[in-house]
Amino acid sequence: MTDNTHLPLQILLVEDEANTRNMLKKAINADEQCHVAEACGTLRKAINWLENHQPDVLLVDLGLPDGDGTELIRDIYRRGYSTEVMVITVFGDERHVIRAIEEGATGYILKDAMTDDICTSIMQLVDGGSPISAPIARHLLRRFRDTVPDSPDNGATGIPSLTRREQEVLSQLARGFSFPEISDILSISPHTVASHVKHIYRKLAVGSRSEAVYEALQLGLIDITKH
């Protein structure tokens, strides 16, 4: 979590099933670091609320009665908001997972894998982590293994060149570690980690962790199957 992050975190919760919505709201509000600023059950109501509010975190189900939750993720980024996005859904198939991440979600938790301590996942998200259910991580690994070239030519025209340290930082980002955790793993300061991430984003022409990891894997710049 950045030094200037204010607490409690303001959260927009979008879930159409009333019992689940109330359960999540109660669990989140039980933690003094988090607060559900708005809880709604439709895409339209959420979009209307966003006209005058900018939440710190969006928790969204994908299967809403009046549309797809990815439309709301797209709307958040179209507005230029710096909101962190975590999907909470029953949809664990590869198509839904990849589409949500491509739209900008940095967390993806299946409802049947949720714990009572949902705020731990939220705090991990705003601290630079990517809380992801194990089945979802397997989908991503399979997808990336299928799309990354076997013998990438890093010297080819148009492929960005990352330094060894930038590759190390990006590899740890791909594994879901936060900036402080990467700082400990690589024995460098959090400020240095942030600086490397800034350079990585610029070189890859991306604006988020998920985009950076996707581009780097597509170009063969990192390999998250190695430890």
pLDDT digits (tens, 9 = 90+) for 73-92: 989 988 888 899 999 988 77
Segment 62-76 shows an average pLDDT of: 92
Query: Among the ranges 41-50, 117-126, 151-160, which has the highest mean pLDDT value?
Result: 41-50
Domain boundaries, given as residue ranges, for the chain: 9-135, 147-219
Distance CA 210, CA 103 (A): 9
pLDDT of res. 209: 80
Q: Which residues of 13-41 are buried (b: 16+ CB within 10 A; e: fewer)?
A: bbbbeeebbeebbebbeebeebbbbbbbb
What DSSP character marks residue 7? Answer: S
Distance CA 175, CA 90 (A): 23
- The dihedral sign for the CA sequence 151, 154, 155, 158: positive
Query: Among the ranges 2-16, 161-175, 213-227, which has the highest mean pLDDT value?
Result: 161-175
pLDDT of res. 107: 86
Q: Which position has the higher pLDDT, 129 or 125? A: 125
Q: Which position has the higher pLDDT, 98 or 71? A: 71
What DSSP character marks residue 143? Answer: H
Q: What CATH number labels 9-135?
A: 3.40.50.2300
Segment 51-66 shows an average pLDDT of: 95
Q: Is pLDDT of 4 > 50?
A: no
Tell me, yes or no, if the pTM score tops 0.75.
no
Query: Among the ranges 2-11, 15-24, 119-128, 203-212, which has the highest mean pLDDT value?
Result: 15-24
pLDDT digits (tens, 9 = 90+) for 146-165: 655 554 444 444 677 888 88
Per CATH, domain 147-219 is 1.10.540.10? no
Max Cα separation, the chain?
A: 54
Tally of CB atoms within 10 A around 10: 17
